[in-house]
Structure 1
Amino acid sequence: MNTKYIQELKHYSKAEILEIIDEKSFDKLLKYAIITKDECSFQFKFVGVIIIDEVVLNCYPKYIPNKDNIEDDFKQTVRVIKKYNSLNEEIDYQNENLEDISFNLLSMMVFFLEDYFENGVYTNIQNILEINGNGEIDWNRTVNYTDPIIKDNKPYYINFHTKYKINDLFDYFRLLHEYVITDCSRRLEKAGLIDLFDLTPVEISPHEQDDFGEITQILENLEKELNVEFMTRKRKLLRSMHSYLAGKNSFSNENYLTVFGTDSYHVIWEDICKRIFRDQLDKPLRELFEDSHSSKKLIDFIKKPVWHLTEGDFKVDTFRPDLITFWNDYFVIFDAKYYKLKISEKLEKQPGLSDITKQYLYELAYRDFIKKYKFKGVKNAFLMPTYDSKVENKGYVEIGILHDLGLENIQVIMLPARKLNRFYLENKKMKISNINLE
């Protein structure tokens, strides 16, 4: 397959894109909003891997500059997406229609191989019962179903019920699972994606799909097994195999499309910042302050809007900070902003007015709390990713009428995304003293 690198949200002309994919593939990506139109140019609103019509598109985040040697940075990005998915999402392909299944085939292939390396193949254990066998004595069955010899008022058993378990190596579903794993490995190798996903090629099955029957019969067998299997992992595997085999034929269709990644990388950037800087929003106060026994959480201190109507009063959802933490007796409010500032004669691609006013309001919402727990002050900042290797404090943004109320202006902190990605992958934390809060 032909592999091309694409920068998220970079402006491309249609002619530039058609040098990589054909018109039908272009229209399909436009239909799924992976490509979006912006005036007279087009952008890829996606971070991750796209396979369409024998072309692999590796879409890297917008903060990474357009450069030739992109492989290492993109591999780190894929690992971050995988880590986020493992922390925040439970894969379940049940009840998807065929088009959705085809769309998610790449994610399924990665899932099958990672699950295999962690848990092995699908197993069906058979319980074998014998009389006077070599297995463990089943005393319950022996006592209930065997007549003993009584001597001196004591029972003596000359025959025993014994039991042992065997792993059926020729079980239909085990062999089918081995075929699916091998098939996924071959397809990922063909697409040149084995190394990108940190996987190892797997060849554990000599079988082809036809060896298991017609596709309708295979799917029916999987459904029957689901009706009698209640173990969570095995049910997940059965559902995933059903979805994979039902949608696999799309690989031979013209302009097939499958993806691994996200059209909302800002959510991942937010999760990175929350975990690295020890977000405390959902911690009960008793875990944060020695003199508190309250189960109330920090998020609970932001009051909800109340609609006072003739029919009654109605509370609705309120705004929520990205993360709150403490540092050197300061109350710290961070907002993870996945923006790429453009600074020339004027400022572009910056957070909007509503983002700025919300940051001021977060401090206002916690004003009584900050006084009660005697914080020295407040630090309020936007956290944005940069490709540079060092933290940079760009300055601050101010709304005069709110600053005049005694509220802190919002600092603009540029964080080295590659370093934060590494910390995220390694479950490390970063000291706030390292990010130049002024």
Structure 2
Amino acid sequence: MQPTKGAELLTEEEVLSSARVTTLFPEPEMRNALIQNGVLAPDKDGALRVRFVGVAVAGGRSFQILPKIFPASSANVTSTMRQVIRALRRYARWQPQHRDEAPFLDPTASHTDLNALALADWLIRDYLSAGIYRRLRDREEISGSGQVSWRRTIERMVPVLSSGRPVYVDTVTRSAAKDRDYFVSRLHRQIVESAAQSFGYLLGYGPLNLDHEPFEPFGDLPALSLCQARIRQEMRDAFSDRAMQLLPMLLAWLTAIEKAESANLALYGTSSFYDVWEKACALALGNERDQWQVHIPRPTWRSAEGHIQAADTFAPDIVTRIRDGADEHLLIADAKYYRLSMPPHLQGQPGVNDVAKQLWYQRCLSGAARDRGLTRTYNIFVVPGPEHEEGFWSDGQVDLSGLPETTVKVKRLSGLQALERFADGTALDAERVRAVVMAA
């Protein structure tokens, strides 16, 4: 599968006219496959709306798909897309329970045929950290530099007597040597080269040169059945941690790339990027939600016969503590992957249900916070913002009367910085969070 190098740039929520759809995806089967896999969704008048964030190879074309919070006219699309891919990569590793929501990020997914890009990413990262797979071969020599094997020496060598005792002039030595012609090592090199050449640039990797490796590639890849048989044999014979991790991935790659070539389609990303944003905000601010969830009431149902059962309830996105000198306060935050703007017109705002729910959380948790010695409870929406030197800043509020608490503040978190910090695993500066949250 050899896609074109120049990637088309799309943006999540972008509407593609019917004419552009036909230009980008002339085959109806490809359009249907993209709709079925959540990349595109039907819109008005034959148009299609982009619902995906990540990268794709479809019909021989390469696509980079930005989150909706970044304009396609971004000053540096390449660096922005690199941070998006890094965030997706961490999301796939950090939240394995969400892999069913994002199967195209999971190299081990068994319920999709389109994860060749995720396998390519895994194989390239594995090579960069551990190199080409090597199988050491035992080698016997006469008086070599290895360790003496006395059992083999006694079996094979004739001693001379010295003072009535046997002396072995020559000994059998054993050492481990790298097998430069080892089939699996050569296959590993060829697979890594192929993955890097086909998909490396889409996944944010620079050129990968393996000419220094001692294992010669095959030229033409041996028959699929032979490659699979040799890998399976190696899986039976090798028990190192590296072998147990790498060999199944090589086997999976052979199947995945064949399916990708047959479908002419491979995907790396998610149609649920809002969940990536929520995880990025939780890491940026810190999250202790599990410690506070017990204080969120559950609806209790009672039958006419008197049977009682509690049902599931809401769960806030983020609950954490912020320190202010000797005092501690509670912060309740809702991470919204919305493009909120005003003026001239209010658009992209959280709905009234979201506002009421945040105020209800505050009412439920403020008493528990006081019982734990916390002084105040703050309530915020966190929405993506443009690039901003401060990274995290205040941007208005929403008020809703009818509850004891009536205000939810709006805070902006720089989209690019949020994804970069998420990928790096670093939170926002605690003092900056305190200052912004407590700002009037």
Q: Tell me the TM-score normalised to structure 2 length.
A: 0.79
Is 1:237 aligned with 2:243?
no
Deviation at 1:120, TM superposition (A): 0.9
Structure 1's 94 and 311: CA in aligned 2 closer, same or farther, altered over 3 A?
Answer: farther
Question: In structure 2, what is the equivalent of residue 31 of structure 1?
Answer: 36
Distance apart, 1:263 and its partner CA: 1.2
Q: Is the 8 A contact 1:194 1:201 kept in 2?
A: no
Query: Helix, strand or coil: the match of 1:368?
Result: helix
- The equivalent residue for 1:165 is 176
- The code of the aligned residue for 2:270 comes to T
In structure 2, the partner of 1:15 is: 19
1:88 correspondence with 2:83: no
Query: 3-state DSSP class of the match of 2:49?
Result: strand
Match of 1:422 among 409, 420, 423: 420
Aligned ranges for residues 253-268 of structure 1 at < 5 Å?
253=262, 256-268=264-276
- Residue equivalent to 1:289: none
Note if 1:320 corresponds to 2:315.
Answer: yes
Identical counterparts, % of pairs: 20
Q: What is the one-letter code of the residue matched to 2:268?
A: F
For 1:242, the aligned partner's letter is: L
Q: What corresponds to 2:411 in structure 1?
A: 413
Please report how far the alpha carbon of residue 8 of structure 1 lies from its aligned counterpart in structure 2 after TM superposition: 0.6
Residue by residue over 1:307-327, the C-alpha shift from the partner in whole angstroms, topping out at 9 and shown as x without a partner, is: 455696545544322222222
Q: Give a deviation string over 1:151-180, Cα, whole Å, max 9, x none.
A: xxxx99969886533332322211111110
Task: State how far apart, in whole Å, the 2-side matches of 1:299 and 1:262 are.
Answer: 28
Kept in 2, the 8 Å contact 1:301–1:366? The answer is: yes
- Rate the CA distance shift 1:435–1:22 in 2: closer, same or farther, 3 A: farther
CA contact (8 A) 1:110 1:197 kept: no
Once the two structures are overlaid, the 10-residue window that deviates more, 40-49 or 77-86, is 77-86
**1:120-146 deviation digits (Å, cap 9, x = unpaired):** 111223345779764346799999xxx
8 A Cα contact 1:126 1:167, kept in partner: yes
SS of residue matched to 1:19: helix
Matches of 1:137 and 1:14 in 2, distance apart? Answer: 75
Match in the other structure for 1:146: none
Alignment partner, residue 247 of structure 1 = 256
SS at match of 1:247: helix
Structure 1 residue 112 corresponds to structure 2 residue 112: no
- Which residue of 2 is the match for residue 277 of structure 1? 285
> Alpha carbons of 1:182 and 1:42: their partners in 2 closer, same or farther (altered >3 Å)?
same
User: Which residue is 1:356 aligned to?
Assistant: 355
CA contact (8 A) 1:380 1:408 kept: no
Contact kept in structure 1, 2:34 and 2:40, CA below 8 Å: yes
Q: Which amino acid aligns with 2:321?
A: F
Task: Answer whether contact 2:339 2:384 (CA < 8 A) is retained.
Answer: yes
Where 1:348 maps in the other structure, the secondary structure is coil
Give distance in 1, aligned partners of 2:253 and 2:320: 43
What is the DSSP-based 3-state SS (H/G/I as helix, E as strand, rest coil) of the residue aligned with 2:79? helix
In the alignment, what sits opposite 2:57?
Answer: 51
2:17 maps to a residue whose letter is S
* Counterpart residue type for residue 365 of structure 1: C
Q: d(CA) in 2 for partners of 1:140 and 1:374? A: 73
- Which residue number corresponds to residue 395 of structure 2? 394
Match of 2:205 among 175, 192, 198: 198
Give the letter for the 1:419 counterpart. Q
| CA–CA distance in structure 1, aligned partners of residues 294 and 140 of structure 2 | 58
State the AA in 2 paired with 1:57: F
Alpha-carbon contact 2:382-2:413 (below 8 Å) kept: yes
Q: 1:222 to 1:318 in 2, by over 3 A?
A: farther
SS of the equivalent of 2:402 reads helix
Distance 2:368 2:93 in 1: 35
Q: How many residues align?
A: 409
- When the two structures are superposed, what TM-score results if normalisation uses the length of structure 1? 0.80
Cα distance in 1 between the residues matched to 2:411 and 2:109: 43
CA distance in 1, matches of 2:306, 2:225: 55
The 1:200–1:306 alpha-carbon spacing in structure 2 relative to 1, beyond 3 Å, is: farther
Residue number in structure 1 paired with 2:7: 3
**Per the alignment, in what secondary structure is the counterpart of residue 400 of structure 1?**
coil
* Distance change (3 Å), C-alpha of 1:173 and 1:373: same
CA contact (8 A) 1:113 1:199 kept: no
**Worse-superposed segment, 392-401 or 28-37:** 392-401
Deviation at 1:55, TM superposition (A): 1.3
| Rounded Cα–Cα distance in structure 1 between residues aligned with 2:205 and 2:38 | 28
- Helix, strand or coil for the counterpart of 2:289? coil
Superimposed CA distance per residue, residues 69-121 of structure 1 (whole angstroms, 9 cap, x where no aligned partner): 43332222222222333433498645736xx23x1112212221111011111
Q: Distance in 1 between matches of 2:230 and 2:252?
A: 13
Partner of 2:160: none
How far apart are residue 187 of structure 1 and its match?
1.6
CA separation of 1:408 and 1:168: change in aligned 2, threshold 3 A = farther
Cα separation, 2, equivalents of 1:264 and 1:92: 14
Change (3 A) 1:95 1:31: closer
1:22-66 superposed Cα distances (whole Å, 9 cap, x missing partner): 243333312322111234443111111111112112110111123
**Contact 1:181–1:202, Cα closer than 8 Å, also in 2:** no
Q: CA deviation at 1:273?
A: 1.3
Per-residue CA distance 1:255-299 (angstroms, 9 max, x = gap): 6111111211111111211112222335xxxxxxxxxxxxxx344
CA gap of 1:395–1:68, structure 2 versus 1, over 3 A, is: closer
CA contact (8 A) 2:109 2:115 kept: no
In 2, the alpha carbon distance for the partners of 1:65 and 1:434 equals: 29
What SS class does the counterpart of residue 368 from structure 2 fall into? helix
Whether the 8 Å contact between 1:379 and 1:408 is mirrored in structure 2 is no
Which deviates the most, 168-177 or 38-47? 38-47
Alignment of 1:58-97 (within 5 A): 58-67=64-73, 69=75, 70-89=77-96, 93-94=107-108, 96=110
